[in-house]
Chain A
Amino acid sequence: MSHQISRRLFLKGGLAAAGTLAASSIPAAASITDGTGHLATLLDISKCIACGACVEACSETNQSKYPEPEKPFPKMVPSRAKNVDWSEKRDVDDRLTPYNWLYIQSTYVEHNGEEHEVNIPRRCMHCTNPPCVKLCPFGAAEQLKNGIALINDNLCLGGAKCKTVCPWKIPERQSGLGIYLDILPKFAGNGVMYKCDRCYDRIAQGEQPACIEACPEDVQTIGPRDDIIRQAHALAKEMNGYIYGEKENGGTNTIYVSPVPFDKLNKAIEKGKGKPHLKPVKDHMADGNNLAAALAIAPIAGIAAAVGKFYKMTK
C-alpha cells in the first residue's frame, strides 16, 4: 500500500479538520458582551456604614453554593501543594474566603484636612475582559452575556490559576471537593475556587443581587454599564470625589465612587491574603491581545516569502 498522499487528499484532509473545528457551532455560539450587554454596579462608598447587612445577605443567599468538602483530604504530591480548608472557619467575615464572597474594608483616612471613616464592600470586580475566565486552562469559568464572571464548581480543578492571574487575587480555594477527586487527586488540582457570582441566578430571574437588595443605605446600584458609568461620573462630580474600577484592568463592572482618593485609601486599608488592594491596575489581557496582530501578519509574510522564492526560481 502506498503511503503517498496526494496534495488533493492532503488539502482535503487538512482543511476538513480545520473546517470542522472552525465551522463548528463555537463561533456561532460566541457573543459580543461589550458595552450595552454588561450590567455594572455602582458603589457609593460615602454611604456605607459597615452595618454588614450585605455580607449577611450574601452568606444567606449563597449557602447552597458553598463547598461541602470530603475529609480526609488527599495527601498532596509534591508536598509543596497544600490542602486549603476553610470549612471549619465558615464564620470568618473579615476577608474573602470560599464561604465569604463579600466583606467590608474599613479605614480612617485624612483628606483635605478632614478625617473620613471609609467602608468599602469588597468582592469580585467582574472585569469586562476577565483574566480568570479567559485564562482558565480548562474553561471552567465563564463570562455571561451580562458580564458576570462565573466559576463552574463542577469543572474547576482548583489549580488556582484564576487567583494568580486576577489582579486583585479574589478567588479562594477549598480543597476536598470537585472533579480533581475523580482524576488524580494527589497529583493534579486541589479543590474548587470560589468567588462572588453576583447572584447570577437571582439576576436571571429578574431579581437584584442579595447584597444590593439588603443594603439599608442604598450603597449599591445596578444597571447597564454605560448608565452606571454616567451615574458614577455625575456622583463623583457632585461629591468632588474619585472613581475606581472604570479603567482598572481594562475596565470592570464594579465602579466605586469615593470622597477620598483611592491611592490614600489603598495606603490606609489592610491588604494581604483575601484582602484586595485598591491600586491602579493595567489591562492584563492587553499585551497578548495586541500581539494578535502579529498572528495575522505572520502567515502573509510566510506566503510572500514563498511566492518571492517561486518567482526567483522560475525567472
Chain B
Amino acid sequence: MKANEDQSGPNRKTLMWYLYLISMVLLAFTGFGQMPIYKRYYISDIPGLAWSADFYTTHLIHYIFSALFLGIAAYVVFDHLLLKKKRFALTLSGFIRSAIIAGLVATGLLLVIYNFSGVAFPMWAAATLLVAHMTLAMALIAAGFIALIGRKPWVRAIN
C-alpha cells in the first residue's frame, strides 16, 4: 500500500457518514410528511415543528436534502470505484441497501419530472411511483435498523 493511499475504511464515521445520516433522517421525515399526518397526529404542535404541516415547506426541504443525498451518493460511489474497490467489497447488507437506494433515486427522479409543468403521468403510473417510493423508503429504514442491530457493515475488507 502506498503511503499516500486512502487509509480510511468506508465504514468509519466520517463527515460523509454524518451528512448521509442527516439527509436520510430529514428525507424520511419530510417524505412521510407528504402524507397529511403530522397535523392530524399533533407532530406539528411540537414546538419548533409547526413547519412540518406545511406541505410546500416539507416539499422544498425534501428537494434540498435530496440534492445533498445525491451529491453524497455520487461521491461515495465514485470514491469506491476509484480508490477503494480493490480493498473493499459490499456485504450482502450493503448490497441490499444500495439496491434500495438506487430504486429510491430512480423513483424520486421520476417524481421530480412529474412535478414539472407540462408533464402528466397516467393515474396508475403516478400511484405506482408514489407507492414504490414510499415502500422503498420504509424498506431502507428497516434495512438500516437491521444493519444497526446486527452490526452489519456496508463493506468488508478483501483479504
The reply to whether the CB of A17 lies closer than 8 angstroms to some CB of chain B is yes
Q: Is B73 an interface residue (CB 8 A)?
A: yes
Interface residues of B (CB under 8 A from A): 4-6, 34-37, 39-42, 55-56, 59-60, 63-64, 66-68, 70-83, 85, 89-95, 98-103, 105-107, 109-110, 112-123, 125-132, 134, 156, 158
For A128, list chain B residues within 8 Å (CB).
117-118
* A89 at interface by CB-CB < 8 Å: no
Q: Which residues of A contact B83 (CB under 8 A)?
A: 306, 309-310, 313
What residues of A have a CB within 8 angstroms of the CB of B34 in the complex? 135, 137, 161
Q: In whole Å, how far is B135's beta carbon from the nearest beta carbon of chain A?
A: 12
Of listed A4, A13, A30, A31, residue having the most chain B CB within 10 A = A4
Given contact pairs A21-B106, A284-B56, A294-B64, A137 touches B89 in the complex (Cβ within 8 A): no
A315 touching B102 by the CB < 8 A rule?
no
**Is A21 a contact partner of B110 (Cβ separation < 8 A)?**
yes
Mask: chain A, 287-298; 1 = CB below 8 Å from B; 0 = not: 111011011011
| 5 additional A-B residue pairs with CB within 8 Å, beyond A3-B91, A306-B83 | A288-B56, A289-B115, A298-B67, A303-B75, A303-B78
Contact: B72 with A289, CB < 8 Å? no
Instruction: Judge whether A22 and B117 touch: CB under 8 Å.
Output: no
A23 — nearest CB in chain B belongs to which residue? B106
* Residue contact B40 to A80, C-beta cutoff 8 Å: yes
Determine whether the beta carbon of A299 is less than 8 Å from that of B73.
yes
CB atoms of B129 and A294 under 8 A apart = no
Residue of B nearest to A34 (CB): B118
Segment of A140-148, A195-203, A214-222 engaged in the interface with chain B: A140-148
Given A14-B98, A300-B74, A307-B78, A289 and B89 touching (CB < 8 A)? no
Given contacts A3-B156, A81-B40, A307-B82, contact A9 B95 (CB under 8 A): yes
Q: Find chain B residues with CB under 8 A from A280 CB.
A: none
**Residue A240 is within 8 A (CB to CB) of chain B in the complex:** no
Give the Cβ gap from B12 to chain A, nearest Cβ, in Å. 15
* Closest beta carbon of chain B to A182's beta carbon, Å: 16
Q: Within 8 Å CB of A250, what residues of B? A: 117
CB pair A26–B79 under 8 Å, yes or no, is no
Evaluate whether A78 and B41 lie within 8 angstroms (CB atoms) in the complex, with A17-B106, A26-B125, A307-B78 already known.
yes
Q: Which of A95-103, A112-120, A152-160, A230-238 lies on the face that meets chain B?
A: A152-160
Contacts of B92 in A (CB 8 A): 3, 5
- Asked if A33 is at the interface (CB within 8 A of a chain B CB), the reply is yes
- B89 engages A7 (CB within 8 Å): yes
B130 interface neighbour in A13, A139, A310, Cβ under 8 Å? A139
Q: How far is the CA of A135 from the CA of B63 in the complex (A)?
A: 13
Mark each residue of chain A from 78 to 96: 1 if its CB lies under 8 Å from any CB of chain B, else 0.
1011000000000000000
Q: How far is the CB of A25 from chain B (nearest CB, A)?
A: 8
Tell me whether A29 and B125 are in contact in the complex, defined as CB-CB below 8 angstroms, given that A14-B99, A298-B68, A302-B71 are known contacts: yes
B residues in contact with A27, CB < 8 Å: 110, 113
CA distance A303 to B158 in the complex (A): 24
